[in-house]
Amino acid sequence: MSKDTEGKSEKIMDMESKVLWYPDSKRNTQMDKFRIQVNGDYGLNLANYNDLYQWSVDSYSEFWGEVWRFCGVVSSKPYEEVVDVSKRISDVPEWFKGARLNYAENLLKHADQEKVALYAATEANEEIVKVTYGELRSHVALFAAAMRKMGIQTGDRVAGETHNLQSLHTILSTGSPLKPMSYDYVYRCIKSNVLLGSISGGTDIVSCFMGQNPTVPVYRGEIQTRNLGMAVEAWSPDGKPVWGESGELVCLKPIPCQPTHFWNDENGSKYHKAYFSSFPGVWAHGDYCKINPKTGGLVMLGRSDGTLNPNGVRFGSSEIYNIVEAFEEVSDSLCVPQYNSDGEERVILFLKMAPGKPFCPDLVAKIRGAIRKALSARHVPALLLETRDIPYTISGKKVEVAVKQVIAGREVMQRGAFSNPDSLDLYKNIPELQNY
């Protein structure tokens, strides 16, 4: 990275680079123990997390083999090879070839069977139920026996879910980007010395590309680090890494948690179109992000299909949300593109007002000024409009793509996926958006 680029990148990211939590230097974490084991096994001198991370992606076969040993994975047959390093992530290489193991056995092998494994709570009442490892093992055995009786065999798929709540030393957040103001709230109102870990990955990889880390600081508005073994970068549309600037989230090296195929996709065409059509041989996850070259932290900026690109400047909607929702007059916002018949794009910003706060020209001017100052004049939306509601999925994610379809005059399918589907109708036939 050139000096000019580095200076520019740091200026872009510095606004959020405020430390809210420091790791305890006296605490010997599992991450530290793992790093020390790697140093001993390979004759290395990895001094910190950054060194360990770089080794984990440069020598990913050795890294995942070390994870297997460190975690004490129990298998009835050992593996012959960790992975064929001649294959790319798009080749979907086989991992731990020859190994045979039981996933549940590994989860339930805790030495102290009286230790609490799960704290379970429901919305029905305030009771918190505790389940020990011994009790959980018994429950799993009962379910396994019942499923065998039902005729479930090797290769069949069964869905399930567990939750694990521990004493409050760590708070994890996922689902949508955690706003800088939410970091302030946690440290001001919940606990001042808690590790607030914003994590991001995907259901498709059943994992996280980036997340919490007990060995590095928490910076306001940033996910702490790229996770070990995850060769993640932000790329420009022409396939070059960018630092401190918006880019497409990509993964360059194979990972054992990538899906092997899609159902009903015999030749793999749908699978490869979903992940490898943007950059041949490189996993494009469909998310937009920034990586801070100074802190190593990351900011998620929304889905790629919700990316905004007016006047030749490409950015994610979260960049706008982080500014707009700091205004106490605004309770929520939605930023979407609108296209005319020539393919030109303009950005529309919808504002849901806080109770008792009016939508007025003075507020619009203040928001425009704040966006111009924090980002640039080209980031300022063409129109700011009031809305009574903003659509969300049942899982709590803001739905920009659906509104983009509605204002383009198209119907939205699968309205059952929304927690408030009627809100979509608010975006039909808006006078200010006609004749663009």
CB 252 within 8 A of CB 78: no
Q: In this structure, are residues 96 and 68 in contact, taking their beta carbons and an 8 Å threshold?
A: yes
pTM: 0.78
The tens digit of pLDDT for each residue in 3-23 reads: 444 444 444 444 447 999 999
Note the pLDDT of residue 12.
44
**Which tokens is 279 given?**
């950059």
Nearest CA to 209 among 170, 242, 171, 248?
248
CA distance to 162, 382, 389, per residue, from 172 (Å): 15, 36, 27
Tokens linked to 372: 């111009």
Closest-CA residue to 195 (of 180, 210, 214): 214
* Sign of the alpha-carbon torsion through 179, 180, 186, 191: positive
Rounded alpha-carbon distances, angstroms, from residue 273 to 208, 237, 241, 255, 323? 22, 16, 21, 19, 34
pLDDT of residue 127: 87
Query: Please, are residues 258 and 93 in contact by the beta-carbon 8 Å criterion?
Result: no
- Dist. CA 173–CA 206, nearest whole Å: 16
Distance between the two ends of the chain, CA-based, in angstroms? Answer: 41
Structure-token match 């103001």, residue found: 181
Q: What letter represents residue 70's amino acid?
A: F
Cα–Cα distance, 53 to 30 (Å, whole number): 14
Return the pLDDT at 1.
44
**pLDDT value at residue 35:** 96
Position 201, amino acid: G
Q: What is the pLDDT of residue 160?
A: 61
Confidence (pLDDT) at 147: 87
Structure tokens at 21: 């939590």
Residues 6+ apart with CB under 8 A from 233: 241, 247, 250, 252, 291
* C-alpha of 342 from chain center: 34
In this prediction, the residues of the chain whose per-residue pLDDT falls under 70 are 1-16, 159-164, 166-167, 305-306
Complete domains list, the chain, with CATH? 3-298 (3.40.50.12780), 308-433 (3.30.300.30)
Q: What Rg, from alpha-carbon coordinates, does the chain have?
A: 24
Each residue's pLDDT tens digit, 389-408:
999 988 788 888 899 989 98
